[in-house]
């Protein structure tokens, strides 16, 4: 079975002093504990990064996903080199998860309120890749992405190092426009659902035969983000 975003073992924790919000995201996104108060002047200065998560008024699953996308994009925007180092690791590997925990854990300027945000590194990776696709590669021509054959991946230095990478690189080559439309949609929205629906025909041929797969919208979004990020980055280096 392809274990996409269903691993509860690895949790990244970002903290702000005075108060606590725990938010755990796996494939089915469980949001827990009470929400924090907006950051106030309590004598401890909270320096927010641009695009930081603000105070959260709701604890439903949709809000949880949107908060995590905002947080991951903020990390990539303000800590670009660190984000690139995490994204360079084999997709959803122990190495990638470990580097994410060490790099993003602890107090973080992307958490713009007094509290704590916890979630799986797999969602963080997807959100960071989204940031680069939607900013650095926003106007890139997607034609070359669709034109890359399997053999062309090796020429770009993109040989898949895991089944997750294989699937990610496959689905975005089959329909790069649908993949980017997914990343441009609001997480947990009807538009996101429609974008995922456009990618569904590309999923089947990209999944290894003979197994059972459970992929929800968050998983498909992360795969699309990382697949586009890696290919567009490699093309840009040629």
Asked whether residue 181 is assigned to any structural domain, the reply reads yes
**30 and 61 together in one domain:** yes
**98 and 174 together in one domain:** no
Distance CA 142, CA 178 (A): 10
Asked whether residue 59 is assigned to any structural domain, the reply reads yes
pLDDT at 22: 30
**85 and 165 together in one domain:** no
**150 and 111 together in one domain:** no
Distance CA 69, CA 90 (A): 21
Tell me which residue of 1, 225, 7 sits closest to 120, measured CA to CA: 7
Decide if pLDDT at 155 tops 90: yes
Distance CA 223, CA 205 (A): 15
Select the more confidently predicted residue: 211 or 15.
211
**39 and 107 together in one domain:** yes
**17 and 60 together in one domain:** yes
Q: Which of 120, 155, 180 is the last residue of a domain?
A: 120
**113 and 157 together in one domain:** no
Q: Which of 120, 153, 174 is the last residue of a domain?
A: 120
Asked whether residue 132 is assigned to any structural domain, the reply reads no
pLDDT at 57: 59
**113 and 179 together in one domain:** no
**86 and 171 together in one domain:** no
Decide if pLDDT at 215 tops 70: yes
Decide if pLDDT at 128 tops 50: yes
Cα dihedral value 57, 221, 162, 175, nearest 10? -170
Query: What's the average model confidence in pLDDT over 118-145?
Result: 93
pLDDT at 174: 97
Among 22-26, 67-71, 166-170, top mean pLDDT goes to 166-170
pTM for this prediction: 0.80
Tell me which residue of 175, 37, 64 sits closest to 120, measured CA to CA: 64
pLDDT at 82: 95
From residue 233, alpha-carbon distances to 133, 185, 226, 227, 229 in Å are: 9, 21, 10, 10, 6
pLDDT band, very low/low/confident/very high, at 69 (cuts 50, 70, 90): very high
From residue 41, alpha-carbon distances to 18, 83, 114, 210 in Å are: 11, 30, 11, 57
Select the more confidently predicted residue: 177 or 108.
177
Query: What's the average model confidence in pLDDT over 72-89?
Result: 95
Cβ neighbourhood burial of 209 (10 Å; 0-12, 13-18, 19+): exposed
Query: What's the average model confidence in pLDDT over 17-42?
Result: 32
**58 and 92 together in one domain:** yes
Tally the domains of the chain. Answer: 2
Asked whether residue 39 is assigned to any structural domain, the reply reads yes
Decide if pLDDT at 80 tops 70: yes
Asked whether residue 74 is assigned to any structural domain, the reply reads yes
**206 and 172 together in one domain:** yes
pLDDT at 212: 74
Asked whether residue 1 is assigned to any structural domain, the reply reads no
Whether 224 contacts 199, CB under 8 Å? yes
Of the listed ranges 14-18, 159-163, 216-220, 225-229, the least confidently predicted one is 14-18
pLDDT at 58: 64
pLDDT band, very low/low/confident/very high, at 153 (cuts 50, 70, 90): very high
Asked whether residue 28 is assigned to any structural domain, the reply reads yes
**151 and 115 together in one domain:** no
Range of the structural domain that residue 206 is part of: 143-237
Q: Which of 85, 120, 155 is the last residue of a domain?
A: 120
Asked whether residue 178 is assigned to any structural domain, the reply reads yes
């Amino acid at each position: 079975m392809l274990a996409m975003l269903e691993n509860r073992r690895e949790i990244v924790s970002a903290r702000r002093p005075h108060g606590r919000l725990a938010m755990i995201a796996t494939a089915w996104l469980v949001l827990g504990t009470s929400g924090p108060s907006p950051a106030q002047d309590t004598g401890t200065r909270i320096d927010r990064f641009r695009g930081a998560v603000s105070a959260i008024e709701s604890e439903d699953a949709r809000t949880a996903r949107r908060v995590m996308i905002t947080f991951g994009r903020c990390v990539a925007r303000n800590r670009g080199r660190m984000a690139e180092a995490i994204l360079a690791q084999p997709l959803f590997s122990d190495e990638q998860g470990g580097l994410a925990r060490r790099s993003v854990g602890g107090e973080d300027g992307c958490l713009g309120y007094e509290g704590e945000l916890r979630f799986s590194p797999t969602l963080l990776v997807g959100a960071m890749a989204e940031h680069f696709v939607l900013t650095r590669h926003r106007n890139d021509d997607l034609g070359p992405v669709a034109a890359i054959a399997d053999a062309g991946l090796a020429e770009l230095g993109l040989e898949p190092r895991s089944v997750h990478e294989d699937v990610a690189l496959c689905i975005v080559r089959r329909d790069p426009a649908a993949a980017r439309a997914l990343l441009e949609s609001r997480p947990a929205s009807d538009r996101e659902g429609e974008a995922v629906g456009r990618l569904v025909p590309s999923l089947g041929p990209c999944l290894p035969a003979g197994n059972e797969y459970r992929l929800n919208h968050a998983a498909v979004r992360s795969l699309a983000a990382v697949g586009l990020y890696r290919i567009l980055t490699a093309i840009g280096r040629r």
